[in-house]
Amino acid sequence: MPEKDDPRVRLDKWLCAARFYKTRTIAAQAIESGRVRVDDQRVKPSYAVKAGTWITLSKDSLVWRVEVTAVSDKRGPASEAARLYRESPESAAVREEEIAKRKAAAASAPRTSGRPTKRDRRRLHSFFEKN
C-alpha cells in the first residue's frame, strides 16, 4: 500500500489529468498499444506513477519525453495540468522542429478552392493519361 509521503496514481488517470489525452479510455488504449512507455518499458494502464518517473509518449507522430513532477487523478484546468510534468529540453526541441516542418510543408502546399471544375478535371485526366 502506498504511503502518504509517496503518493501514486494510475498511469491512465495521470495522462488524462495532465491533458495528454481527453479521456481515460483513450489514454488506456494508447498505453496498451505501446505508444506510452515508462522509463523505456511497456507498462499497463494500472501502472502506479510517482514523482520523478520519466514517461515517453507519441501522439500524432510527435514524441514527448516528460518527467512527472506531481501526481493527480483529477482533470483540471490546463494551467494545473502543466504543473504535473516537465518536458526534457531535447524532446521539446525535436517536437518544435517537427511542428515547424509541418507548418512549412502546409504553407508550400498548393491552395485549392475546393472541388475541381469540369475543365480542371479534364486537364488532370489528360495529364495522368500521358504519364
1-93: in CATH 3.40.50.2300: no
* Rounded Cα–Cα distance for residues 95 and 10 (Å): 26
Q: Tens digits of per-residue pLDDT, 83-95?
A: 999 999 999 999 9
pLDDT at 70: 94
Question: Which range has the worst mean pLDDT, 3-7, 27-31, 49-53, 107-111?
Answer: 3-7
pLDDT tens digit string along 97-125?
Answer: 999 999 988 888 777 778 889 998 999 89
Residue among 60, 14, 55 at smallest CA distance from 38? 55
